[in-house]
Amino acid sequence: MSSQFPIQKLNEVETPFYYYNMQLLDDTLSVIQTEANKYNYHIHYAVKANANKRILERVNSFGFGADCVSGNEVTASLAAGFTNDKVVFAGVGKADKEIITGLENDIACFNVESIPELEVINEIAERMGKTANIALRINPNVKANTHKYITTGLEENKFGIYIWDIEKVLDKIEELNNVNFVGIHFHIGSQINDLDSFKQLCTRVNELQQDIFIKRRAIPKIVNVGGGLGIDYDNPDDNPMPDFEKFFAIFDEFLELQEGQEVHFELGRSVVCQCGTLMSKVLYVKEGVSTHFAIIDAGMSDLIRPALYQAYHKIENLTSTLEEDKYDVVGPICESSDCFGKAVTLPKTGRGDLMAIRSAGAYGEVMANQYNLRELPQAIYSDLI
């Protein structure tokens, strides 16, 4: 059982709700700041992980920027205090009005994923009398670790510009008057715990710099290596944050930079995941043929990750200390996939017990929806309770 929760106070709050440990968030931000500062690395927090205003404000207070994937995220970041020179806008499908939002606010950079997008940004910028800073999101194809660039079994995906198209894109940029090439951008995936993948990313970035950008003398000022650092869903108390020291050290060791280049990171999950917990109460315990079902008042509308990706979240009963048994922990929603865990070992569980679904600070509240016309979960903060 975790002792970190103020159980008595939490027991009085109407469930379900997200509980944020703001001290842990501060500690995490502080470690990131210290470790990133060692190398003058720039951090843009990936707002899509959790766009809660108080969390954005806290992230901003540590001097980090905001990495946005929609016009509304740009607006929310600015409203939370991020200055426009620290806001970047990524995403494969930016709508015209979202591009306009970015340009109106003179954001730092658009991460561009295709030639048609480049042309549209240029056209809108021209109309508005602006120049858009752009970085090219390149699909580095690092997992297929065979020959340089040409890989068998390449999985086509919608993200980024293929390596073999980069030259064409650079030619296009030279033709356009209202875009300014400032960076290259990579993001190899999410919940990555094998730091070797980041090593491979560095190698690929080095090759691309040598073979394309340096050769063309189109040296980007910014090398943005994205996010994706994973966290420990199994042991949130033992590992309340990932090893940021090791993470940044990999890039310091393996990334070869050109004079004056800045390295940018877009961390999402690793910043906010462990500080958030979905709190819920047991409504009923129902006896199946061979299964005890703990039916709780949180559902997939509050936290969709288990239903959407079969994601694992550690589940704890915070109020029972009775002998253990196994339970399927399920929500109230009319979908079989509304299940948080099967055969979960818990102390004997009954109606009214307070349940903690851990490591839910990232891609949790922000994905909550009103399916079944349920209410959205509220947010409770450790420093305000």
Ligand X SMILES: *Cc1c(COP(=O)(O)O)cnc(C)c1O
Q: Which residue, 157 or 177, is less far from ligand X as judged by CB?
A: 157
Only segment of 77-85, 226-234, 253-261, 329-337 that touches ligand X (CB under 6 A) = 226-234
Query: 183 or 268, CB closer to ligand X?
Result: 268
Is position 121 an interface residue for ligand X (rule: CB under 6 A)? no
Nearer to ligand X, 44 or 281 (CB): 44
Tell me which stretch binds ligand X (CB under 6 A): 43-51, 119-127, 283-291, 375-383. Answer: 43-51
**Is residue 361 involved in binding ligand X (CB under 6 A)?**
no
Q: Pull the structure tokens for residue 259.
A: 């004079």
Among 226, 306, 332, 341, binds ligand X (CB under 6 A): 226
Output the smallest distance, CB 10 to ligand X, in A. Answer: 26
| Shortest Å distance, C-beta 362 to ligand X | 6
331 binds ligand X (CB under 6 A): no
Asked if 267 interacts with ligand X (CB under 6 A), we say: yes
Nearest Cα to Cα of residue 365 among 15, 13, 80, 18: 18
In the complex, least distance from residue 268 CB atom to ligand X, rounded to whole angstroms: 3
- Would you count residue 201 as binding ligand X (CB under 6 A)? no
* Exposure on the CB side of residue 115, measured as CA atoms within 13 A: 12
Kindly state the smallest distance separating residue 118's Cβ from ligand X, in Å.
17
Q: Is 187 in the site for ligand X (CB under 6 A)?
A: yes
Interface residue with ligand X, options 98, 113, 117, 266 (CB under 6 A): 266
Q: What are phi and psi of 36, to 5 degrees?
A: -70, -35
Nearer to ligand X, 220 or 347 (CB): 220
Q: Which of 32, 88, 90, 107 binds ligand X (CB under 6 A)?
A: 90
> Is 338 among the residues that bind ligand X (CB under 6 A)?
no
Q: How far is the CB of 272 from ligand X (least distance, A)?
A: 9
According to the binding rule CB under 6 A, does residue 190 interact with ligand X?
A: yes
* 1-9, 41-49, 165-173, 345-353 -> range binding ligand X (CB under 6 A): 41-49
Q: How far is the CB of 305 from ligand X (least distance, A)?
A: 12
Nearer to ligand X, 67 or 338 (CB): 67
| Nearest Cα residue to 107 out of 119, 116, 115, 94 | 94
Q: For ligand X, how many residues bind (rule: CB under 6 A)?
A: 17
Closer CB to ligand X, 88 or 279, in the complex: 88
Which one of 12-20, 194-202, 265-273, 289-297 is the stretch in contact with ligand X (CB under 6 A)?
265-273
Please give the residues from 269 up to 298 whose contact with ligand X meets the rule CB under 6 A.
269-270
- Contact between 49 and ligand X by CB under 6 A: the answer reads yes
Nearest to ligand X of 103, 272 (CB atom): 272
Interface with ligand X (CB under 6 A), residue from 65, 220, 227, 306: 227
Neighbours of 47 (CB within 10 A): 27
Report the distance separating Cα 316 and Cα 322, nearest Å.
13
3-class SS string, the chain: CCCCCCHHHHHCCCCCEEEECHHHHHHHHHHHHHHHHCCCCEEEEEHHHCCCHHHHHHHHHCCCEEEECCHHHHHHHHHCCCCHHHEEECCCCCCHHHHHHHHHCCCCEEEECCHHHHHHHHHHHHHHCCCEEEEEEEECCCCCCCCCCCCCCCCCCCCCEEHHHHHHHHHHHHHCCCEEEEEEECCCCCCECCCHHHHHHHHHHHHHHHHHHHCCCCCCCEEECCCCECCCCCCCCCCCCCCHHHHHHHHHHHCCCCCCCEEEECCCHHHHHHHEEEEEEEEEEEECCCCEEEEECCCCCCCCHHHHHCCCCCEEECCCCCCEEEEEEECCCCCCCCEEEEEEEEECCCCCCEEEECCCCCCCHHHCCCHHHCCCCEEEECCCC
C-alpha distances (whole Å) from 244 to each of 34, 82, 189, 248 are 9, 23, 17, 6
**Could you tell me which stretch among 116-124, 125-133, 268-276, 285-293 binds ligand X (CB under 6 A)?**
268-276
Kindly list the residues in this chain that would bind ligand X in the complex (CB under 6 A): 46, 48-49, 67, 90, 187, 190, 226-229, 266-270, 362
